[in-house]
Amino acid sequence: MKGDYYKTEASVKAYIELAKNVNGGTLIELLKDYLPLDSKVLEIGSGPGTDWRILNTYFQVIGSDNSDEFINHLKTQNVNGEFLNLDATTLTIKDRFDGIYSNKVLHHLTNDQLSQSIKRQCQILNDSGIICHSFWKGEDSEIFKGLFVNYHDKPDLVSFYKDSFNILYLEYYEEFETDDSILLIAKKK
Ligand SMILES: C[S@@+](CC[C@H](N)C(=O)[O-])C[C@H]1O[C@@H](n2cnc3c(N)ncnc32)[C@H](O)[C@@H]1O
């Protein structure tokens, strides 16, 4: 159903099955080069929780998602974890973090929403806080499975982030096909 992907029990089950063999382990290894172990980290769009579990072995991580279905799944699967319903654009939370991580989440934001999210991420990061986000590489945007998908490339991401962050790492990588993805790691100015 249009707009319901990630929000229904059936679509969440389908996504968990689809994503069961992928995880952000290599992205998190890179993040560890920039963010001290045991730092306080917010994950945006935790979804199935695969990356949350990896992050949780190195950092004090709070997971989040804007889907109640995913939040229920995350809480059931990780009874000692902390999970919040947060929207990536508004990030309505009082806590402050040393790091913010997302893996293939922020491409669901329009350009205006991404700009708003970047401002909000700055506000909830401690001084010199680190962000680590992955995106799908490409141009323009489309509706896929009823969801808005916004594609980015390196110059485009530089223009979004350069005013508020010093870019530490920005490289294409392969999720399913050569250079289909981009990883950004940056430090709050
Ligand atoms: C492609 S999945 C990625 C999930 C997980 N990070 C992974 O790597 O498997 C996108 C996730 O972002 C969440 N999401 C989509 N839009 C969001 C938003 N505006 N705010 C917070 N989470 C969002 C979805 O519910 C879903 O869990």
The model's pTM is 0.98
Share of the chain above pLDDT 70, in %: 98
**φ, ψ dihedrals at 66, nearest 5°:** -100, 15
Q: List pLDDT tens digits, range 111-136.
A: 999 999 999 999 999 999 999 999 99
Tokens read off for 67: 């889907």
Residue appearing with tokens 């902390």: 82
d(CA 39, ligand 1 centre) in Å: 22
In a domain, 170, yes or no: yes
In a domain, 1, yes or no: no
- Whole-number pLDDT of residue 145: 84
Q: What is the mean pLDDT of residues 34-41?
A: 98
Nearest atom of ligand 1 to the alpha carbon of 109? 19
In a domain, 129, yes or no: yes
CATH number of the domain that residue 92 is part of: 3.40.50.150
In a domain, 188, yes or no: no
Share of the chain above pLDDT 90, in %: 96
In a domain, 160, yes or no: yes
Tokens read off for 19: 């994503």
Q: List pLDDT tens digits, range 9-24.
A: 999 999 999 999 999 9
In a domain, 74, yes or no: yes
In a domain, 125, yes or no: yes
| Burial class of 91 by CB neighbour count within 10 A (0 to 12, 13 to 18, 19+) | buried
Rounded CA gap, 46 and 74, in Å? 8
Question: Considering its fold, how many domains does the chain have in total?
Answer: 1
In a domain, 133, yes or no: yes
What is the domain extent for residue 18?
9-139+152-180
Find, among 108, 103, 113, the residue nearest to 44 by Cα: 103
d(CA 127, ligand 1 centre) in Å: 26
- Return the best residue to mutate from 6, 75, 102 for the ligand 1 pocket (most ligand atoms within 8 A of CB): 6
- Whole-number pLDDT of residue 1: 42
Using CB distances shorter than 6 Å, the residues near ligand 1 are: 6, 19, 24, 44-48, 50-51, 65-67, 70, 87-89, 103-105, 108
Rounded CA gap, 1 and 131, in Å? 33
What single string gives the DSSP state of each residue in the chain? -TTTTTTSHHHHHHHHHHTTT---HHHHHHHTTTS-TT-EEEES--TTSHHHHHHHHHSEEEEEES-HHHHHHHHHH-TT-EEEE--TTT------EEEEEEES-GGGS-HHHHHHHHHHHHHHEEEEEEEEEEEEB-SSEEEETTEEEE-B-HHHHHHHHTTTEEEEEEEEE-SSSTT-EEEEEEEE-
CB within 8 A of 20, min separation 6: which ones? 48
Angle between helix 154-161 and helix 111-124 axes, rounded to 10 deg? 50
Q: List pLDDT tens digits, range 62-109.
A: 999 999 999 999 999 999 999 999 999 999 999 999 999 999 999 999
